[in-house]
Amino acid sequence: MPSLKLRTPWNTPGIIVVMVITLAMNVSAFAQDAPNLPNTADRPRHQQSAQQHDDSPSPGIDAPAIPEGMTLDEVLDYAASPPPDYFPHLVPDDRLYAFTLIDLLEYRVVTDNTPDHLGWEAQGWIGGDFNKFWWKNEGEAVFDGPDEGETVTDLLYSHLITPFWNFQMGAQYANEWTADEYDDRWSGVIAFQGLAPYKFELDNSLYISEHGDVTFELEAEYDIRITQRLVLQPRAGLGFAFQDIPERDLGAGITDANLDLRLRYEITRKIAPYIGVRYRSLVGETGNIAEAAGADSEELFFVAGFCFAF
């Protein structure tokens, strides 16, 4: 039988060399035929780029259209003129508002032999955001026993000078009566009323009476919220006289001090019943005048009432 001859295998290293040479020749040819690609060396520097940007022409901007039959000056004058009467007000900041607060309306039970009486304090205003007509009224009257009492009413122009303070000026009418006597007086008023830091409400008033007597009153109050509806309110008031006023039984200096403590429950934000105590003391020369006349210089009241607003 004829012998079978084995085929000689390929020369593997030689084939690899041939393939590498062919690939290198193709890459060289592609590099010669390809276009020049950008590189970092061809990029302009920052100053050159900025110069090219400045030298480039600006895009065209069309001038705004002017209504037919009008010049540019006429258009500008019309734009600066007030709006026609039939235009609505964009911001209605000249509206009138009104508010009334009955801060105290209470029955006062005295711990000594003095008759019980009714006491009240109220204030309100009508006006705009900055200028208002502001009124204040307070007093007390005895209904159980002798017919006597007193009231004071302030009629004021009020101007908002800061977001929390009002400057007020105007007149005060005060009267006092007993069963067989009636007395009244007019005074000029200068006052500052507002909210101090930490939410202390202050009301400071200087009075000059028609007889030239000068007095000053300071009132302060603060709300301590125990809950959203239960509020404890301490109040304090001081009175001063700059000279002796015999017809009003006032001596120069501090004349009186009132310390109040009330606990109210706000059924709504506009109505709240309360209970509390009130301590009143005549101080200094005024206290001596009261004691010399046989009156008490100190009084303690238990109070119950309500406050409301509308």
Q: Tell me if 127 sits within 8 A of 133, measured CB to CB.
A: yes
CA dist 11 and 31 (Å) reads 32
pLDDT digits (tens, 9 = 90+) for 51-98: 655 555 555 566 667 888 888 888 888 888 888 888 877 776 778 999
CA dist 281 and 299 (Å) reads 6
Q: What's this model's pTM, rounded to 2 decimal places?
A: 0.70
pLDDT digits (tens, 9 = 90+) for 228-237: 999 999 999 9
Write out the two tokens for 170.
């105007």
Q: Show the CA angle centred on residue 194, arms to residues 193 and 198, nearest 5°.
A: 140
CA dist 289 and 285 (Å) reads 6
Chain centroid to CA 117: 37
pLDDT digits (tens, 9 = 90+) for 242-295: 999 999 999 999 999 999 999 999 999 999 999 999 999 999 999 999 999 888
